[in-house]
Amino acid sequence: MPDTPKPGVPALRPVDFALLGEALRRGARDLRQAKGFALVFAGVYVLGGWLMAWITQVTGQSYWLVFAAVGFPMIGPFAAVGFYDISRRIEQGRPLDWMQIFSVVLRQSKRQLPSISAIIIVVFLFWFFLAHMIFALFLGLSTMTNVSSSYEVFLSANGLTMLAVGTVVGAGFSTLLYMITVLSLPMLLDREIDFVTAMITSFQYVAAHPVPMLAWAAFIAVFALVSMLPLFLGLFLSLPLLGHATWHLYDMLAQGPEPDTPEALPA
């Protein structure tokens, strides 16, 4: 069956910027062909963003929205499996059947995806806890200032230092999550391997190709952050595009140059 995972870790070819551009092109093609799926899968995260912002406002602690907005892309991979399967079906010329795609996503609950998802959640929660500690360390003594309404406190010396430290620490967490998931998530859909092997393979590949892969990470981070600014509505574009493109990047790395572009995508 086409959905039967192949055994073992694939041999991954080197990556370059031409390959990244081709992955984006194919991702945009898939987005145009599967707009309905983009609305459904990305809609879950748009609603989640709205709920996150609403809870933050209701609790009167709006400064948490800063940390939540930075951490929100960390949980984006949970929507990825659906986009991966859609791209795989388009590449194979198979129909985009709603029931079959949802069954593939649900079937991952019996494989390795819950384990790697649990790790992502733990890292996300640890970052959230550490962000609170960073805030308390630099602004915890500002008892006479309501940071929920007086945002000028963030322009103080302690406020700017807190933002700088929080940004560096948050970037470190995001980079770690990117390195262990960028290839492991599509690999777990495609291959019958354990999640630890998939994460190690992904981490080692990024470490072996730091320039293009970290440039890809920077693009994802900026694109995802900007897409959240207009009330999270940009996620309707960024999540599907990045999800489809990530699958094609993995697929091209795992299978080598496509027959129709043997010279355009040098190894």
Per-residue pLDDT of 153-200, as tens digits, reads: 677 777 788 889 988 998 898 899 899 999 999 999 999 999 999 999
Residue 40 burial (10 A CB sphere; 0-12, 13-18, 19+) = middle
pLDDT in tens, 11-58: 999 999 999 999 999 999 999 999 999 998 888 878 877 877 777 677
The percentage of residues in the chain with a pLDDT greater than 90, rounded to a whole number, is 41
Nearest residue to 266 via CA among 12, 10, 15: 15
| DSSP reduced 3-state for 169 | helix
Q: Quick check: pTM over 0.95?
A: no
> Which amino acid is present at 242?
L
DSSP state of 14: P
Contact status, residue 27 vs residue 99, Cβ threshold 8 Å: no
Q: What is the CA radius of gyration of the chain?
A: 20
Contact status, residue 137 vs residue 159, Cβ threshold 8 Å: no
Nearest residue to 189 via CA among 123, 237, 258, 246: 246
Tell me: pLDDT of 60 over 70.
no
Sign of CA dihedral 58, 70, 186, 84: positive
Cβ neighbors of 91 (< 8 A, separation 6 or more) are: 248, 251
Domain boundaries, given as residue ranges, for the chain = 14-252
Confidence of residue 63 (pLDDT cuts 50, 70, 90): low
First to last CA, the chain: 30
Rounded distance, CA 202 to CA 143, Å? 45
Tokens for 10, please give them: 């694939």
